[in-house]
Every structure is written in C-alpha cells, then in structure tokens.
Structure 1
Amino acid sequence: MTDPIIKFDKVVKRFDTFTVINELDFEVQPGEKVTIIGPSGSGKSTVLRILMTLEPISEGVVYVDGDTLWHEKAGDGSLKPAGEAHLRKMREKMGMVFQQFNLFPHMTVRRNLTEAPTQVLGVSKAEAKERADDLLEMVGLTDQADKYPHQLSGGQQQRVGIARALAMRPKIMLFDEPTSALDPELVGEVLGVIRRLAEEHDLTMLLVTHEMNFARQISDRVCFFDRGKVLEQDKPEVLFTDPKEERTREFLKAVLEGN
C-alpha cells in the first residue's frame, strides 16, 4: 500500500460554536477517484475548501503529498501554523473547479488559461499558450479561445474552468459540485469532460456531487458524509446497491427518488 496523497488526521473545523468537520479521519491514495456524497451541511465542500487552503482547520493535521498542509515544522521538529509561503507551495499541488465558474471576465478564454502558469509558475508565454491550446482541445473548446467568458454558455465556462485548473499541472483535482449552477441540458457536457479526465489521466480526483449515477460510473470509492464524518464508504457498486448504514439508505432513497 502506498502512502496516501491526502490524509486527514483527527481534523476538526468549527464555525463559531458549530462543528462542521468532527475529528475526521480520511485518506485518498495517489491516482484514486473518490466521490463524497451526503446531505447539505455534512461537511463535504468544507473538506475541499480546507484542501485548497480557503478554510483553516481548528484541530488535527492535514497531509498532502507527504507534507503537512496547515502546519510546517519548527526548528525543534514540532508543528507550528504554516506561513503564507508554505501554503502557496502546497496550493500548487491542487487544482479546484468550483460551483461558480470564477473566470476572469476581462480576459479571453486562452488568457484565462495562460495567466496563472506564467505569473505563478514562471512558464514561458509560448509554453503556456501551447499548454492552453492542448487543454482547450481536450475540453472541446478550441474554437472559443479568443472569446470572453460572457460570450460562452455556462457549460462552456465550466469546461474552461476545468482546463484552467489543469493548466497548473496539479497532482490533485478537486471538484465542488461542478454542475450545480448549470441548466440541466448543459450538465452532460461538463460531466463528459470529467469522465474523460478520470479515464485517461493518472490524476488523483476528489469530487463532491449530487449526480449519483455519475459518481457510480467514475469513482473508485464513494464516501457518505454525515455530521462531519465518513459514516460509510465502499466501492460504488456496493455502496449504491447494498449500503450498510440506515442513514445512508435513507439519503440514497431520497436522492434517487428525487432524480
């Protein structure tokens, strides 16, 4: 068994007096495709926001790619809160696709993809453009490279968002309900891109979604979150057809009957 690329060790996240992540132990192996499902408020998206350093943790330790995320080692070997330089270095290991597309409205599609690699990674403009054009081809948007975000459909904007995250060459891709802001007829085109990523690339992927059939198709493992913990996890064919926990059965019955 290889070392996990993501590890949460007794992680707690509180907002004032409300505990949204409750002593979470959770691991993801390199190259694994893991989907997190669960009711609203169960902590699903907070896990991704912690990994992207958007939400600090209250207790515990998070490890990413063999290094502590929210801590760094002090001179005596103990852990101290991480400084901004450490957080920035760790952030580069991950790409995130949000519910909202978050594209730069004043930049063309291509420049949305080249800006961070040149400014953050120091990639040459020529290499960044070549990388951007390859990624736009992958997500089926070569002919949209010189347009601006407002000229695209929601599905096209989200595909640009995926390409932009990939342009940073992350080891880990995080997807936070990437289709929830889309009209129903546009969902399929975004899920198709994510499915292709899962099938053709050796990326570690962590996905929060309400698309249960999609989770069943692309996941190596599905984790059911409830009250800030993993209540149950298994291969999708097991968890979706024969869940052990009554709470999981209730949730799946409600969600699948609602679709």
Structure 2
Amino acid sequence: MSENQTKPIIEFSKVAKRFGTLTVLDDFDFKVAKGEKVTLIGPSGSGKSTVLRILMTLEPFQEGTLTLAGMPYHEPNGKGPFKASEKHMHQIRGHVGMVFQSFNLFPHMTVLRNVIEAPVRVLGLPRGEAECRAVDLLAMVGLADKKDRYPSQLSGGQQQRVAIARALAMRPRVLLFDEPTSALDPQLVGEVLSVIRNLANEHELTMLLVTHEMRFAREVSDRVCFFDNGRICEQGRPEEIFGAPRQDRTREFLESVIG
C-alpha cells in the first residue's frame, strides 16, 4: 500500500480553539482515514460541532495544524499560520461538504436551483451539466418529483434531503453532518437517516457525523469518538463504545441518552 493510501485524509495536530477565555478544543489530535465513517458523540458544548466548523473553514483556530488531503489550512505567506488567504480557504472549501441542522436552503430558489447554484458559481460547471448532476442526486434522495418546488412547499425532512443533495453536488472528498435531524419532527427523522445510511453503505465518501441518534451511530459508523471538555475521551468501534465502554464518563453519558 502506498504512502498516499495510508496517509489520513484529515489530520488535526495539537489544535487549540478558543472563544475568548473559553477553550473549546485543547491540544486536539484527530485523524480520519479516507472513506472512514466517524461519528462524534458527547454532551452539548464538548467540541464536536466545532471540529466540523473548523473543517468547513467556518471557524479559525489558534494553535496547532490541520490538513485535508495533504492541504494545510494555512499558507506560508508571512501572515501567520492561521491567516490563510481567502483564495486558499476557497480551494479547501471545494473539497468539503456540510449538512447543517437548519437546512440553510435559499427560500427564493427552486429545489433544482438550490442544488445547482454552488456547482455553477463555485466550480464553474456548465449549467446543463450541473442540472444533470442535480437531477441524479435528487433522485438518489427520493425527491426527483420535487425539483420545481420551493423550500416552503416541502416538509422539514424533504428540505434536509435537498440539503444533502446540495452538499453532494460539489463532489466533496469529505462530507460533514452537524446534527442533521435535530430540527426535525420525530416522524421525519427516519427518512433523513435512511438517506445518510445509504450514503454510508454504498459510497466511498469520508463522513463525519455529529448526532444524538445513538442507534443510528452504532449502525453506520466505522468508529465512534466520545467527546468531553474539548478532548476525545474514548474512541473505538461502535460495538466497543456502545457495548463495553472503558471510561466512566462515556458510560455515564450513554446511560443518560439511551437509558
């Protein structure tokens, strides 16, 4: 196996993230292999979503290094290691897709336009090619017949499925899910989890998922990481974390959310 095949696609090394005096990530080390499906669990405020937001370039960090597919999240441009140019961040952003809690669809655009907008504007994809890609992705998430609807005409579950298609339209190397079902009514959660489950099972995408759906995390993950106070306290295969956690703090958390 070549070095490129064994090198992690994501690598955090001693990363620190602070909001004022509050340290959210502390001396944080984290690696993800290409094609790996990793779920981040833990109490609110433990740093899980911050990891995703840093990867999506939505949050800067103060110390350490981060690379995505060998690309550093900074440039040796004399401005300091955490002040990369917007051009450099734009290049990295093209390799990462993110599905947020709150859908974030453009309300004035049809479903089809929501999916094609970024490939056309960011990737420079010809509109006809972007539309073909969008139609295929909407069919994959079960919404081919909704392409001319507006977000307000869809259920929350349907809107989140459009958001997943929109993220996939950029052909990302890494796909991030930040509690993708937390804003949904309970009866709509299943349809979104089903789409994510199919993605995990049928595609070689690298996926990072923050969720409180523990049964789902156990089903789709190659690895589960339990976060607490800005650190990974315990990680392992789903059957290890959910079946026989080694740390008391992990056990206490799982008992509180699973019962």
Normalising by structure 1, report the TM-score: 0.96
**Matches of 2:36 and 2:75 in 1, distance apart?**
26
Match of 1:32? Answer: 36
Match of 2:66? Answer: 62
1:101 to 100, 103, 109: 103
Say which SS state the counterpart of residue 72 (structure 1) adopts. Answer: coil
Cα RMSD, aligned residues only: 1.1
Match of 1:231? Answer: 233
Kindly provide the CA deviation profile for residues 166-205 of structure 1, in whole angstroms up to 9, marking residues without a partner as x: 0000000000000000000000000000000001110000
Say which SS state the counterpart of residue 173 (structure 1) adopts. Answer: strand
Q: How many residues align?
A: 254
| Paired AA for residue 123 in structure 1 | L
Match of 2:182? Answer: 180
Match of 1:208? Answer: 210
Does residue 73 of structure 2 align to residue 73 of structure 1? no
Does residue 19 of structure 2 align to residue 15 of structure 1? yes
**Matches of 1:128 and 1:27 in 2, distance apart?**
33
Match of 1:120? Answer: 122
Match of 1:169? Answer: 171
Residues 133 and 169 of structure 2 are in contact (CA less than 8 Å); yes or no, is this contact kept in structure 1? yes
| Ranges in structure 1 where 5+ consecutive residues have no aligned partner | none
Q: Please report how far the alpha carbon of residue 79 of structure 1 lies from its aligned counterpart in structure 2 after TM superposition.
A: 4.7
Residues 102 and 183 of structure 2 are in contact (CA less than 8 Å); yes or no, is this contact kept in structure 1? yes
- When residues 92 and 232 of structure 1 are mapped into structure 2, their CA distance, relative to the original with a 3 A threshold, is same
2:194 to 175, 192, 199: 192
Match of 2:245? Answer: 243
Runs of 4+ in 1 over 2 A off after TM superposition: 78-81
**Matches of 1:142 and 1:80 in 2, distance apart?**
42
Say which SS state the counterpart of residue 123 (structure 1) adopts. Answer: coil
Kindly provide the CA deviation profile for residues 73-93 of structure 1, in whole angstroms up to 9, marking residues without a partner as x: 248xx9563110000000010
Say which SS state the counterpart of residue 136 (structure 2) adopts. Answer: helix
**Matches of 1:180 and 1:141 in 2, distance apart?**
21
Say which SS state the counterpart of residue 44 (structure 2) adopts. Answer: coil
Normalising by structure 2, report the TM-score: 0.96
Identity %: 65
**Matches of 1:209 and 1:162 in 2, distance apart?**
15
**Matches of 1:34 and 1:181 in 2, distance apart?**
21
**Matches of 2:62 and 2:45 in 1, distance apart?**
17
**Matches of 1:140 and 1:26 in 2, distance apart?**
34
| Paired AA for residue 25 in structure 2 | I
1:151 to 143, 150, 153: 153
1:134 to 115, 126, 136: 136
**Matches of 2:169 and 2:221 in 1, distance apart?**
23
